């Protein structure tokens, strides 16, 4: 079930109506959320429900065991159980075929023939997100930062909470789980702010991201035909496609959470206004960046070490982040490449390189991320280095008219102007204090833009669903 479909809004309307009939009945509200979340998740494939229920059960029990263990050794053993089960399941579904193919290529490179075959494994939607969410729960219990819940219903609802289940934000138990333990009453202000964020998220997804996807997908499908100008356009457009797609999802998720009385983590803080890559990763996919910071980077030693050890910590963290995004060598290389600017910024004590250079550097790095393989990325980087320019090539590759292309560019610039105005404030906060006339005029303008220019038929899924 996709956020940008009629079926989701019918589903949400039913859940919303039933949910607020259960005010002052906390257990029934949580039960409704759990059932609704399982219906939402099972909409893709009911078999996925077995995995998320299994993961929830394991970490619910392990959390209790860690807390009650009498020795440090037993605490560590139970934590290792959680790590082994969760990472084992994630590794099998996401990386098994990648490991088989890599081993086969390695054997072939040294002259050994192999008949190893991969399996037709379906990647469960959102598995990377809810796995990290449950892992943070058991790790934080082990560290003594939180105590485990003894209420299985609250925990299962926390893990499967449908607004953020499939693509985040990756919530920490310390932030979200207590919200399942408190009585929730309808708050008109929270509902209004939630609807604002949903509207803004739909605009970014349907009007900007999905229109840019037509151009980006065409160019990446024909990397050998792209000249320098086309590659630059593809790189810039993909950066905005990914941002509007993913931050649009996050806005809808956060807004949906508010409709139900929950506050979720803000996941994007106008990252394209960042003036260094270090600042950029503090403002892009915040819930994942902070997860790797707290559970990988800091345990490795963080920046409290020699410059060489620190560089190693950064490199490992970003390499694992790349691998988290996908089972492919190009994702691993992308992670490594992302670490390099951060290392250089510290070595040369660069406090600011400017918003535009930072954005362009990110866009160039994302060529490796978006390409289907290292070879595909190499062709695009080669096209960039050819210094050839054909202003009509992008129209030939995409099949768009000049009018359609200019319309998309104009809409994109409207978003860039809005982002420049927002700075670090989100869309909802920016409207606080404005007149009712201004707010409603803006709402109608956004709705009209969605209806006129949004991709309404065959709505593409969100990009991060594949991770």
For residue 126, the enclosing domain spans: 6-184
- pLDDT-derived band of residue 116, with 50, 70 and 90 as boundaries? low
pLDDT number for residue 462:
83
Encode pLDDT of 9-26 as tens digits. 999 999 999 999 998 899
Average pLDDT value for residue range 192-196:
95
pLDDT number for residue 392:
72
Q: Treating both helix axes as pointing N-terminal to C-terminal, what angle do 228-259 and 374-385 enclose, rounded to 10 degrees?
A: 130
413 and 264 in a common domain: yes
pLDDT number for residue 150:
95
Backbone angles phi, psi at 435, to 5 degrees: -70, 155
- Distance separating alpha carbons of residues 209 and 39, to the nearest angstrom: 27
Average pLDDT value for residue range 203-214:
94
Residue 304 lies in a domain: no
Check 67, 285, 325, 330 and give the catalytic one.
325
195 and 178 in a common domain: no
pLDDT above 80 for 123: no
pLDDT above 90 for 363: yes
Residue 287 lies in a domain: no
Overall number of domains in the chain: 2
Active site residue 325: yes
Residue 340 lies in a domain: no
Q: Which residue has the higher pLDDT, 250 or 46?
A: 250
pLDDT above 90 for 94: no
pLDDT number for residue 401:
85
Average pLDDT value for residue range 398-417:
90
Last residue of a domain, one of 156, 184, 212: 184
pLDDT number for residue 463:
83
pLDDT above 60 for 226: yes
233 and 174 in a common domain: no
Residue 335 lies in a domain: no
Closest CA to 179 of 193, 164, 167, 199: 164
pLDDT above 70 for 322: yes
Residue 205 lies in a domain: yes
How far CA 206 is from CA of 213, 219, 266, 440, 453, in Å, comes to: 10, 20, 20, 20, 8
153 and 135 in a common domain: yes
Average pLDDT value for residue range 181-189:
93
Residue 332 lies in a domain: no
102 and 27 in a common domain: yes
- pLDDT-derived band of residue 68, with 50, 70 and 90 as boundaries? very high
pLDDT number for residue 395:
80
Last residue of a domain, one of 153, 184, 215: 184
pLDDT above 70 for 167: yes
Average pLDDT value for residue range 137-147:
95
Say whether pTM exceeds 0.75: yes
Residue 213 lies in a domain: yes
242 and 95 in a common domain: no
210 and 86 in a common domain: no
260 and 382 in a common domain: yes
123 and 212 in a common domain: no
pLDDT above 90 for 237: yes
172 and 94 in a common domain: yes
407 and 368 in a common domain: yes
- Distance separating alpha carbons of residues 269 and 274, to the nearest angstrom: 9
Residue 300 lies in a domain: no
Last residue of a domain, one of 124, 151, 184: 184
144 and 129 in a common domain: yes
Range scoring the smallest mean pLDDT among 364-373, 393-402, 412-421, 448-457: 393-402
pLDDT above 80 for 112: no
């Amino acid at each position: 079930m996709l956020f940008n479909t009629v079926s989701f809004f019918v589903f949400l309307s039913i859940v919303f109506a039933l949910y607020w009939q259960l005010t002052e009945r906390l257990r029934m509200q949580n039960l409704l959320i759990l059932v609704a979340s399982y219906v939402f998740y099972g909409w893709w494939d009911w078999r996925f429900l077995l995995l998320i229920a299994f993961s929830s059960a394991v970490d619910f029990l392990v959390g209790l065991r860690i807390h009650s263990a009498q020795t440090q050794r037993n605490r560590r053993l139970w934590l290792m159980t959680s790590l082994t089960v969760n990472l084992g399941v994630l590794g099998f579904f996401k990386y098994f075929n990648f490991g088989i193919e890599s081993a086969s290529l390695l054997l072939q490179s040294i002259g050994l023939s192999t008949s190893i075959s991969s399996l037709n494994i379906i990647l469960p939607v959102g598995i990377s997100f809810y796995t990290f969410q449950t892992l943070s729960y058991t790790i934080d219990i082990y560290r003594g930062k939180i105590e485990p819940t003894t209420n299985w219903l609250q925990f299962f609802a926390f893990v499967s909470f449908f607004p953020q289940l499939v693509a985040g934000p990756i919530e920490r138990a310390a932030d979200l789980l207590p919200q399942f333990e408190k009585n929730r009453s309808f708050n008109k202000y929270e509902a209004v702010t939630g609807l604002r964020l949903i509207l803004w998220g739909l605009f970014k997804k349907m009007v900007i991201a999905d229109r840019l996807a037509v151009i980006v997908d065409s160019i990446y499908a024909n990397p050998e035909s792209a000249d320098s100008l086309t590659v630059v356009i593809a790189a810039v457009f993909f950066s905005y496609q990914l941002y509007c797609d993913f931050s649009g999802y996050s806005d809808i998720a956060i807004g949906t959470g508010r409709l139900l009385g929950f506050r979720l983590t803000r996941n994007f803080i106008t990252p394209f206004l960042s003036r260094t890559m270090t600042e950029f990763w503090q403002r892009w996919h915040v819930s994942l960046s902070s997860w790797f910071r707290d559970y990988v980077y800091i345990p490795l030693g963080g920046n409290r070490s020699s410059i060489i050890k620190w560089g190693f910590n950064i490199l490992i963290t970003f390499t694992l982040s790349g691998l988290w995004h996908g089972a492919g060598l190009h994702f691993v290389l992308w992670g490594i490449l992302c670490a390099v600017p951060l290392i250089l910024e510290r070595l040369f004590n660069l406090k600011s390189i400017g918003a535009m250079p930072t954005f362009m550097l990110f866009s160039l790095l994302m060529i490796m991320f978006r390409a289907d393989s290292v070879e595909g990325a190499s062709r695009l980087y080669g096209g960039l280095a050819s210094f050839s320019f054909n202003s009509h090539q992008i129209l030939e590759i995409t099949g768009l008219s000049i009018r359609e292309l200019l319309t998309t560019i104009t809409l994109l610039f409207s978003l860039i102007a809005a982002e420049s105005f927002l700075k670090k404030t989100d869309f909802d906060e920016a409207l606080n204090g404005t007149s009712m006339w201004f707010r409603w005029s803006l709402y109608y303008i956004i709705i009209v833009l969605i209806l006129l220019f949004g991709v309404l038929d065959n709505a593409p899924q969100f990009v991060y669903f594949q991770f």
